């Protein structure tokens, strides 16, 4: 079965509707993944519309290049440097982008292809890199990191209460033989802790934490949000789908802060027109996948979509 057929895009209709596609507009899909959102955006674009699709996973980029559409530009590029990507794509700073869509986290193809090393369901090399062309693998990091560093990663990114015990076992085990496969790591974790939720594998939180750390996922998310603000034009939409609380917290706080005017000392002698204006307008409430979508695709259960629209600053409106 092909990667594109295996992939089920989460909140597909809702995300594309939230972008409010203009036929001649310019859009960015910052996380091509399996291509579901990209294809849906192209269906709504007119002949003069443009779509820039980014992904740091070479396999996703290869899949994107298979789409024959002159309106689509595909780049092997991390979304965190969104300004650079749009400039390379030929979008002038004064032109701006009509909408940015970010579907955060690991994709179904990455999880389902055992050789990538993301999942404990397969025994494969312990890699976990989204961009396999650069950076160290999870196995390489676990071979050099100390107990404290491993503990902090597993605790902070996996919210694992047994992080210290797992870290000690990893460091002790590598003294005899380095951990090189997903099966070895999963077995070590299972022998150390037990799962919190019925039906959850004991290795779930540790694997999530290592994946987030190896790919610097939360840092990349924190970087791309202000970049999106820079490239969006007035009225442009920012749509973000996240899959766990650590991601959603970053998105929620950013959008909330940008939607609130800057706080000034009380009783400043300013006219209403001189008061700081918010950068964003929140659009609707956070959306979650429907019961029908979760039944068809259990991975949609934790998805949260937040939408915001860029406003004109006072100096731009003057």
Annotated binding residues for S-adenosyl-L-methionine, written as ranges, equal 35-37, 55, 79, 103, 110
pLDDT at residue 269 in the model: 58
Q: Nearest Cα to 309, choosing from 278, 263, 287?
A: 278
The domain 3-108+217-317 is placed in CATH, from the list 3.40.50.300, 3.40.50.150, 3.40.50.10490, 2.40.40.20, at: 3.40.50.150
Measured CA to CA, the distance from residue 186 to residue 205 in angstroms comes to 11
Tens place of pLDDT for every residue, the chain, 318 residues? Answer: 344 435 678 999 999 999 999 999 999 999 999 999 999 999 999 999 999 999 999 999 999 999 999 999 999 999 999 999 999 999 988 899 999 999 998 776 777 676 787 788 889 999 999 999 999 999 999 999 999 999 999 999 999 999 999 999 999 999 999 999 999 999 999 999 977 777 789 999 999 999 999 999 999 999 999 999 999 999 999 999 999 999 999 999 999 999 987 655 565 555 545 556 789 999 999 999 999 999 998 889 999 999 999 997 533 433
Encoding tokens for residue 248? 């959603």
CATH 1.10.150.170 residue window(s) in the chain: 134-214
Binding-site residues, in ranges, read 35-37, 55, 79, 103, 110
Task: Specify the CATH class of 134-214 in words.
Answer: mainly alpha
Q: In Å, how far from its chain's centre is CA 283? A: 20
Radius of gyration of the chain (CA): 21
- Pair of tokens at residue 216: 């610097």
Distance CA 312, CA 294 (A): 37
Which alpha helices (DSSP H) does 259-299 contain, by range?
291-296
Give CATH 3.40.50.150 domain extents, the chain.
Answer: 3-108+217-317
């Amino acid at each position: 079965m092909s990667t594109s057929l295996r992939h089920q895009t989460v909140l597909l209709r809702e995300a594309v509707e939230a972008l409010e596609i203009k036929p001649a507009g310019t859009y960015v899909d910052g996380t091509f993944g399996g291509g579901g959102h990209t294809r849906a955006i192209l269906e709504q674009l007119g002949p003069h519309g443009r779509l820039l699709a980014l992904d740091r996973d070479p396999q996703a980029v290869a899949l994107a290049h298979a789409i024959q559409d002159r309106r689509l530009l595909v780049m092997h590029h991390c979304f965190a440097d969104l300004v650079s990507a749009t400039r390379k794509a030929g979008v002038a700073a004064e032109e701006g982008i009509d909408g940015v869509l970010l579907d955060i986290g690991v994709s179904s193809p990455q999880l389902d292809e055992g050789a990538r090393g993301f999942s404990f369901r397969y025994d494969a090399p312990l890699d976990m890199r989204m961009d396999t062309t650069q950076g160290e693998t999870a196995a390489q990091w676990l071979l050099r990191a100390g107990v404290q560093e491993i503990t902090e990663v597993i605790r902070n990114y996996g919210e694992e209460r047994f992080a210290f015990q797992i870290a000690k076992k990893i460091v002790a085990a590598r003294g005899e033989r380095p951990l090189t496969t997903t099966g070895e790591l999963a077995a070590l974790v299972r022998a150390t802790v037990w799962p919190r939720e019925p039906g959850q594998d004991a290795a779930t939180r540790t694997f999530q934490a290592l994946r987030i750390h190896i790919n610097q996922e939360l840092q990349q998310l924190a970087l791309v949000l202000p970049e999106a603000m820079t490239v969006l034009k007035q009225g442009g939409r920012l749509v973000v789908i996240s899959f766990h609380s650590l991601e959603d917290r970053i998105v929620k706080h950013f959008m909330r802060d940008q939607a609130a005017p800057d706080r000034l000392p009380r009783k400043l002698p300013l006219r209403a027109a001189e008061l700081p204006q918010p950068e964003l307008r929140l659009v609707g409430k956070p959306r979650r996948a429907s019961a029908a979508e979760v039944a068809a695709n259990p991975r949609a259960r934790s998805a949260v979509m937040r939408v915001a629209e860029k406003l004109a600053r006072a100096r731009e409106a003057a």
